[in-house]
Each structure stands twice: as structure tokens, then as C-alpha cells.
Amino acid sequence: MKTLIIVDVQNDFMPGGALEVKGADKIIPVINNISEKFDLVIATQDWHPENHTSFASNHLHKKPFEKITIHGKEETLWPDHCIQGSYGAEFYPDLNTNTVAAIFRKGMNPEIDSYSGFYDNHHQISTGLSGYLKEKNASNLYFCGLATDICVYFTIKDAISEGFSATLIEDAAQPLDNQNYQQLKKELIQSGVSIINSKNLIN
């Protein structure tokens, strides 16, 4: 089953949002255009409590994008974003969600960040996405959304680890740091990930 995973297309990642990904809005028409070409469409949603440990505001004298050690692992601190129930956590209103069959929320544990749509960053808690996809016999996964070098990247990595085939639709995703993405792109290709343009999608 040909499946599209839309990663974190939420207001806080849009231009002017709390954790802005520059140019993020330009991928919306692309996603809307391709979503109906898939048998199954899934969306992930960052859904943080206010006291999330990844927020710089919850650490004295710390600023966004600083790195600290939390539970023995290095973590990046972020601006407060995608807080449960907030406007920033809502899907971008121009995104057509009519085709979305299921939404998987992540980052709900205040103690552990969760970039991937499959697991938290420590791989302790599953979102249930893998089991859902296997139940649906969805082995051929396509990925888009935000940000290519963070949540999309880690979601694809976990998809590969779970035994799925993975294709990144590059023009339907946008990185936070393009230089970082260019390095990660090489790694993804070496891992067997296909990277295509939306124009190359076959109906």
C-alpha cells in the first residue's frame, strides 16, 4: 500500500512561528497536490506539555539551540513550540487534512524529546505508528513535511529500522538548516532511501 507520512506541518514551524522553518509554507501546495495520489495518508503532530524538558525556558539561564545533557544524552534546547492545545500546535490551516486517515502525536513525555514519528529519542516509547502501518500492510512509505533535517530525518531512519522502504519527496519537505540536511541526505541515500521530486511520483 502506497503511504504518505506528513511530518509536523504545524503553525509553530511556519514563517513567523515559534520555531520557524524558513520557506516552510512553500511546501504546502506540493503536499496538497500529491496527497490524493496515495492509498493511505498519515500525519504526525508535535504535541508538547508546557513543562517539556527540551524547552530552553524550562532551564535557568539557558537559551534556545544550546545543547545540554539530559538523562545522560546530549539534547538541543528549543524555543517553546507546539504546546498541547495551542494555536502553534495546530496543523497549518492551508494544509488539506481531508485525506489524513490517522494522526500520531509525539513529544508528550515531558522528560524525553521525540523527533521521530515512530519513537521518542531514547527509543523507549513507541507511538504505535509502526504497528498501525504493518496492520494496514503499508510497506512502501513516502515522507514529506518539517523539518527535513530533524523530524523528517529521524522518522525516516526509524522507518528503515522497522523494515519499511522509504522515499523522501524532497520538494514537499523543508530543512531548518540546509547545510546540515545536505550532510544527512548523503547518509539517507547510503541507507537505501530514495529521494525524489514530487513530479516524479507515479499515480
Residue with cell 521530486: 197
Task: Kindly state the cell numbers that stand for 76.
Answer: 538541543
Q: Is 165 helix (H, G, I), strand (E, B) or coil?
A: strand
The pair phi, psi for residue 148, each rounded to 5°, is -55, -40
Contact 91, 24 (CB under 8 A): no
Mapping DSSP onto H, E and C, the string for 135-150 reads: HCCCCEEEEEEECHHH
Catalytic annotation, residues: 8, 106, 151
Q: Where are the alpha helices (DSSP H) in the chain?
A: 28-34, 129-135, 153-161, 178-190
